[in-house]
Amino acid sequence: MNTPKIALITGANKGIGRQIAAELIDHGFIVLIGARDPNKGQQTAEELGPEARAIQLDVTDSASIDTAKQKISQEYGRLDVLVNNAAIAHAGVGNRSLDELTQAAQPSLVSMDELKQVFETNAFGALAVTQAMLPLLRQAPAARIVMVSSGAGSLSAHADPNFAMRKHFGAVYGPSKTLLNAFTLALAIELEDSGIKVNAANPGPTATEFNNFFGNRTVKDGAAEAVRLALLDDDGPTGTFSGFTFSGENGPNPW
């Protein structure tokens, strides 16, 4: 009998993270539902079935990360897939429009407290979780790390004066994903001889609670690239940024 693979997904109790979890379960994984609120994580795990297991995990809390690592080590001894999905769009007043968020994120005006909170979750938290889980990932024969990024972090796209979303590139969410992309590439380079593949996925404009349901893509659309990267064969790529493109098809994204 084949031993099920083990996947950990941060921020998996709702939205794209939950969809990634559901699809990996369909591919035979045991999926650990990382959630800051253990009650919400448990509710999601119960909804997804017996192959979903809740695990309390706050990516901004080193003690929480260490406790999760120890639990996974004791119960499973390895980790086959890590999906760093947990993220926040902002850390200020809720229910603001895209234009209001854009204005608040201008580098000349941005709240340093908000900036630090977003970077702590979206970039530093992802790297902290990855560092903690690497010993467990090394125990798997062919581990995969997926960073759920965003086209909002593409410097190349926003440097183009004709790019439609250029005016929305501020100092908060977009640059936090730019840094996440940099961490993705740095990890891929460090781990390229280990067999661990590290890639970034762009879900595109997916309508979820995360963005006040702005966007025309479903959670299944948004999860598709992260799932593909989690299931890469041995000859699959590492150090890539891919997913939603404005052509309507998933493909390579500009860094």
Give catalytic residue positions: 173
- Count helices and strands (H / E) in the chain: 9, 8
**DSSP state, residue 82:** E
* Rounded CA separation 176/88 (Å): 10
* Rounded CA separation 86/207 (Å): 16
Q: Are 119 and 59 in contact (CB under 8 A)?
A: no
* Rounded CA separation 169/178 (Å): 11
Both tokens of 113, joined, read: 């407290």
Q: Are 45 and 54 in contact (CB under 8 A)?
A: yes
The separation between CA 203 and the C-alpha centre of its own chain, rounded to angstroms, equals 10
Neighbours of 116 (CB within 10 A): 12
95 — alpha (psi -120 to 50), left (phi > 0) or beta?
A: left
Pick the closest to residue 205 from 170, 235, 248, 239 (CA basis): 248
* Rounded CA separation 130/155 (Å): 24
Q: Are 35 and 41 in contact (CB under 8 A)?
A: yes
